[in-house]
Amino acid sequence: MSHGPAVGGGDPAALAGALAAELGAALEGAGLPSPRVALVLGSGLGAFADALEGAVTIPFEALPSMPSSTVPGHAGRFVLGVVGGVSVLCQQGRVHLYEGHSAEVVTRAMRSLPVLGVHSVLLTNAAGGLAPGWPVPCLMRIRDHLNMQGAVPPMEGRGRQARVYDEAIGRALAAAAVDQGVDLREGVYAGLAGPTYETAAEIQMLDRVGAQAVGMSTVLEANAAAGAGLRVGAVSCITNPAAGIAVAPLNHEEVVEAGKQIAGDFARLLGAAIPAIGAL
């Protein structure tokens, strides 16, 4: 569980700055260079970080300003290492509004990254699919999102951004998919507050407003990162048909298992895209 100021009040900028200082000290202590690219690895997708070159692990619990997740499939640690010559900071797991956290806590790590020298962030998640005919599981590059969580993060730096997802990162992901023979769809991600899965009526609504995937994360982090001046990209792992159209009841264990099934494609996509993203 989180401790210290992670669940308390206080100035949002000061709390993000405290986390940046803690991470910076941990990086320096491990003798690692400042990361150029940061990744957030969602449910069932954390294995990518285990293959980083020269990996060094820092549990969230070692950082008093960093909240810890209670959700299965979220390891709750940072992994620092190298991918294709690019220094990378991987966040294995995240916290969510439905765990009782505020928008400030959910986005604190994102808002700390510019202080560390990070210039690009790639967010990933597990999501339900709305597009008929798409295979399950599959990968989808998020080109835009719908924030339906009823919350917004603290805004610093450049403030509110109408265009959140960086086109150059999108092109890097698309090129990596072609290079690696990975089937990468693209679409709009709808972020709901959770923790309940979607009803059939909610899925009909999301389909009508143009969503191809739905989940309970990412949108606040993306807004906060873009507002802080970072380039932002995102990939959803479509792990199942969305709850309102699924034949059988869903459970989180199936979501994690689907992430494992597509882990090979996911790793090859990120491994090929990160060098290009790091060069932006």
- The catalytic position among 2, 43, 68, 223 is 43
Is 96 a catalytic site residue? yes
Which residue's structure tokens are 């609504």?
205
Annotated catalytic residue 252: yes
How many Å apart are CA 31 and CA 90, to the nearest integer? 17
Q: What is the DSSP-derived secondary structure letter of residue 61?
A: G
**43 is annotated as an active-site residue:** yes
Which region holds residue 123: left if phi is over 0, alpha if psi is between -120 and 50, else beta?
A: beta
Q: How far apart are CA 177 and CA 266, in angstroms?
A: 10
Phi, psi for residue 268 in degrees, rounded to 5:
-65, -40
Annotation marks residue 197 as catalytic: no
- 74: annotated active-site residue: yes
Is residue 216 flagged as an active site residue? yes
Q: Which of 174, 205, 252, 254 is catalytic?
A: 252
- Could you say which of 65, 147, 217, 236 is catalytic? 217
Choice among 165, 228, 240, 246 that is catalytic = 240
Given 66, 75, 96, 147, which residue is catalytic? 96
Which structure tokens are listed for 268? 């090859």
Catalytic residue among 47, 98, 174, 263: 98
Residue 37: CB atoms within 10 Å: 27
> How many helices and strands in the chain, by DSSP H and E?
7, 9
Q: Which of 38, 126, 211, 242 is catalytic?
A: 126
Q: Quick one: CA torsion of 192, 64, 50, 27, rounded to 10 degrees?
A: 120
Of 66, 216, 224, 276, which is the active-site residue?
Answer: 216
Active site residues: 43, 74, 96, 98-99, 126, 216-217, 240, 252
